[in-house]
Amino acid sequence: MPKNSPQPLRVDLRASVGRPMPEAPGPRLPCGVVQIAPEIRLCQVDIQVLARDWWGDFLLADLRRPARGLSPAAPIDAWLAPVEQKVLERFKSFKRQVEWLAGRLAVKTLAGACLDPDLPPTAVTVSHEPDGAPVLPAFPRRCISITHGGRFAVAALSLDTAQAIGIDIERMPLPAGEAFLRLAFSQRERAVLDPVDQLALARAWTLKEAYLKYIRRGFHRNLQGVEFLDGKLLDGGREAPVRWTFGAPDPDHLLAVLFGPR
């Protein structure tokens, strides 16, 4: 297995691959499918653009408001199954509405571009394992991961059924107070991390979060047991058999993509 580098690779998050989804009525989706590794595809959705197109006039401050009704122009029937539309209606905050929708649209775009272009978006739904990990009932052997942070929601898909994946995106700057550092990093990590180095903090934090999704444990696992030291990802003190890369959709966000054997 090639050595990982703690430096982010130059991942072009704008270059589209795969077959596009069929055109749906209404606004185009603010997203595209990119190749991160030979068997990894990723789709990111611009939450701000999505909110403007599906809800009408939009300001960043609107995310802090209560849930809102969709614009009449929103192509909801072309993209969301009736059960998904009910989920969207149940959210109490606008922020949760937009983030959830963006993640689902990213997954549906991946499925249509990479798995089955003849399957309508409404037939691609997301379920969850008992520990909360997302699964595709229509493609149960394919591993997916979903994340959102700041302005972006991202979904990733492994085309290799023997490969698992985990992703995490965070908006920078991260909190650098002592409480956050003690929550996020082990004593050994804190001894070498510079709390002023936002890029180093973001790389370590997003990579650890992506790894927890990779092992499909989420927050059921203690973060202190997963460490990023000397360019290696350690689980319980042992090097994890995974590879990773970083990408940045803009200067204010960092995305970690991690993958390895299931």
Q: Is 5 exposed, middle or buried (0-12, 13-18, 19+ CB in 10 A)?
A: exposed
119-150 tens-digit pLDDT:
999 999 999 998 889 999 999 999 999 999 99
Q: Residue 58 has what pLDDT?
A: 61
Has residue 22 been placed in a domain? no
Which of residues 133, 168, 203 is at a domain's end?
168
Q: For residues 112 and 181, state if they share a domain.
A: no
Please list, in sequence order, all residues whose beta carbon lies within 8 angstroms of the beta carbon of residue 118, skipping any fewer than 6 positions away. Answer: none
- What is d(CA 235, CA 211) in angstroms, rounded to the nearest whole number? 9
How far apart are the C-alpha atoms of 151 and 176, rounded to whole Å? Answer: 21
| Average pLDDT over all residues of the chain | 85
Residues 97 and 156 in one domain: yes
> What is the three-state SS of 104-118?
HHHHHHHHHHHCCCC
Question: Whose structure tokens read 């922020």?
Answer: 95
Boundary residue ending a domain (144, 168, 192): 168
- Residue with more model confidence, 66 or 16: 66
CATH number of the domain at 106, please: 3.90.470.20
Residue 20 has pLDDT above 60, yes or no: no
Burial string for 20-42 (b: 16+ CB within 10 Å, else e) reads ebeeeebeebbbbbbbbbeebbb
Structurally, the chain folds into a number of domains equal to: 2
What confidence tens digit (pLDDT) does each residue in 38-69 have?
Answer: 899 999 999 888 888 888 766 555 677 888 88
Domain boundary among 168, 201, 220: 168
| CA dist list (Å): 163 to 133, 158, 168, 216, 261 | 15, 6, 17, 13, 5
| pLDDT tens, residue by residue, 74-113 | 889 999 999 999 999 999 988 899 999 999 999 999 999 9
* Beta-bridge partners for 165: 259
Residues 203 and 159 occupy one common structural domain:
no
Domain with 219 in it = 171-255
Arithmetic mean of pLDDT, 182-189: 94
State the burial class of residue 72 (Cβ atoms within 10 Å of its Cβ: 0-12, 13-18, 19+): exposed
pLDDT of res. 189: 96
Asked whether the bond before 173 is cis by omega within 30 degrees of 0, the reply is yes
> Considering the domain boundaries, does residue 15 fall inside one?
no
CB neighbour list of residue 87: distance below 8 Å, 6 or more residues apart: 100
Residue 11 pLDDT > 80: no
